[in-house]
């Protein structure tokens, strides 16, 4: 996957696991904002997700589309 296709997961993992010396569970537990801050971006540089981007993600990855969403009760 290239950066053009989405997130550069291989690059992010390399930085997280090798440079930041995170364990895999620690890396995967981070939010994107936390990782960005750890990589040197200030809190003001981390942009909040806008409504349109959120709606696009909901459309692309609907909850329960694969039957994996748990039912309460």
Token pair belonging to 35: 């990782």
C-alpha span between 27 and 34 (Å, rounded) = 10
17 in Cβ contact with 27 (< 8 Å): yes
The full set of domain ranges for the chain reads: 3-60
Quote the pTM value. 0.52
C-alpha span between 2 and 70 (Å, rounded) = 32
Parts of the chain with a pLDDT under 70: 1-6, 43-47, 65-73
> For residue 70, what pLDDT is reported?
55
23's CB contacts (< 8 A; 6+ apart) are 17
> For residue 54, what pLDDT is reported?
86
> For residue 1, what pLDDT is reported?
37
């Amino acid at each position: 996957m290239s950066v053009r296709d989405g997130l550069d997961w291989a690059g992010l993992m390399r930085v997280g696991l090798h440079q930041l010396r995170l364990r895999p569970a620690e890396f995967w537990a981070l939010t994107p904002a936390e990782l960005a801050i750890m990589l040197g971006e200030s809190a003001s540089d981390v942009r909040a997700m806008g409504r349109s981007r959120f709606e696009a993600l909901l459309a692309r990855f609907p909850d329960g589309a694969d039957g994996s969403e748990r039912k309460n009760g």
